């Protein structure tokens, strides 16, 4: 059940976010929700729809727009993922994505700081911002912590060992995320095998330029310096598809036009931010249902 405060804050956030990106000269785009070929990702399952699929994110369409010369674009849209249902997940949820051409993930970290500053400034003014009894320290720059550092600090294990024993996701979920605390933190530089769409970090090809933003221990956004090499992208997709098949999942059609578009896509950075999570943060709730008009159980 939604709370009145939850729905009001949600509406307010939509408004403030559109203002923020308009002010910066971004073009709001509105791409199809139903697509023929989702991006193959091992642990994200698209909902079939009459031979096509509902998007799990607007990534492929937005990157095709980048390749056509639309350089700064954003979108707020519904996305769909099978079987994701819990206090922080709904199988249908709302995503904000934005892309910047000729930028990398460090620009997106600044965007996150600016965007949250803007929203909190307009919605909270001088009032203290509180989430679950704690006031996150929002002074900038927000800490940037590498995944390697976080694994050593919070789990006492190296990322290499975690990957070798197939415990990376488990340690991330049960040791690292709960230890991140109330303050904002950018968890950055993921191992290459955990970032199929990100480019390698110059000078350290073992890690990818990917970050996740956490506030109040809650994952809010995922960002990449985008991989623009169609050949490497094709190989990464093959790997993801292999994992999907091993898990007994049906294969996706190859995203041919997306891969073609990469050939002309400028170096870019892109980010997906969960609008429901952001609304949860602002409405001071740990339950995603409180910021949604209806959950599937209520329909």
Partner 1 sequence: MINAGELRKNTKLMIEGDPYVMLEVQFVKPGKGVAFYKCKMRNLMTGSLLERTYRSGDTFEPAALDERKMQYQYAQGDEYYFMDTKNYEQVMLTAEAVSDAKDYLIDNLEMDILFFGKKAIGITLPNFVELEVTQADPWVKGDSVAGDSKPVTLQTGLVLQVPPFVEEGTLIQVDTRTGAYVTRVKK
Q: Which one-letter DSSP state was computed for residue 173? A: I
* Helix (H) or strand (E) run with residue 60 in it: helix 59-67
Given the structure tokens 């990917």, which residue do they identify? 210
C-beta of 41 vs 104, nearer to partner 1? 41
Binding site for partner 1 (CB under 8 A): 41-44, 82-89, 168-170, 172-174, 177, 194, 212, 219, 222, 247-248
**161/36 Cα distance (integer angstroms):** 38
**94/274 Cα distance (integer angstroms):** 6
C-beta of 37 vs 44, nearer to partner 1? 44
* Residue 243 Cβ vs partner 1, minimum distance, rounded to whole Å: 10
CA distances 24 to 12, 21, 28, 73, 74, Å, are 19, 5, 11, 10, 11
C-beta of 101 vs 145, nearer to partner 1? 145
* Residue 296 Cβ vs partner 1, minimum distance, rounded to whole Å: 12
The total of other beta-carbon atoms located within 10 Å of residue 199's CB is 24
**117/287 Cα distance (integer angstroms):** 24
C-beta of 158 vs 286, nearer to partner 1? 286
What token pair was written down for 204?
A: 């350290």
C-beta of 110 vs 170, nearer to partner 1? 170
* Residue 79 Cβ vs partner 1, minimum distance, rounded to whole Å: 13
C-beta of 217 vs 267, nearer to partner 1? 217
Pair 275, 95: CB distance under 8 Å: yes
**35/51 Cα distance (integer angstroms):** 9
C-beta of 48 vs 121, nearer to partner 1? 48
- The residues facing 77 across adjacent strands are 95
- Compute the Cα dihedral for 172, 220, 270, 149 and give only its sign: negative
């Amino acid at each position: 059940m939604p709370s009145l405060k939850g729905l009001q804050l949600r509406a307010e956030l939509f408004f403030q976010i559109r203002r923020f990106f308009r002010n910066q000269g971004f073009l709001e785009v509105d791409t199809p929700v139903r697509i023929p070929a989702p991006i193959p990702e091992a642990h994200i399952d698209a909902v079939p729809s009459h031979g096509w699929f509902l998007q799990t994110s607007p990534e492929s369409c937005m990157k095709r727009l980048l390749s056509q010369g639309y350089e700064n674009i954003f979108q707020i849209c519904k996305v769909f993922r099978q079987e994701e249902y819990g206090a922080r997940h709904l199988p249908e949820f709302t995503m904000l994505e934005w892309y910047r051409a000729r930028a990398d993930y460090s620009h997106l970290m600044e965007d996150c700081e600016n965007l949250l500053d803007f929203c909190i400034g307009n919605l909270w003014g001088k009032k203290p911002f509180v989430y679950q009894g704690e006031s996150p320290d929002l002074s900038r720059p927000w800490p940037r912590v590498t995944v390697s550092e976080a694994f050593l600090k919070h789990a006492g294990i190296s990322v290499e060992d975690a990957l070798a024993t197939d415990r990376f996701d488990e340690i991330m979920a049960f040791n690292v995320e709960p230890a991140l605390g109330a303050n904002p933190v950018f968890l950055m530089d993921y191992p290459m095998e955990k970032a199929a769409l990100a480019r390698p970090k110059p000078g350290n090809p073992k890690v990818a330029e990917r970050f996740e933003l956490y506030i109040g221990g809650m994952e809010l956004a995922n960002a990449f310096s985008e991989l623009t090499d169609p050949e490497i992208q094709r190989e990464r997709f093959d790997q993801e598809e292999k994992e999907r098949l091993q898990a007994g999942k049906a294969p996706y059609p190859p995203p041919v036009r997306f891969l073609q578009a990469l050939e002309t896509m400028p170096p870019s950075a892109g980010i997906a931010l969960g609008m429901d999570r952001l609304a949860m943060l602002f409405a001071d709730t740990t339950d995603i249902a409180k910021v949604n008009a209806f959950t599937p159980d209520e329909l």
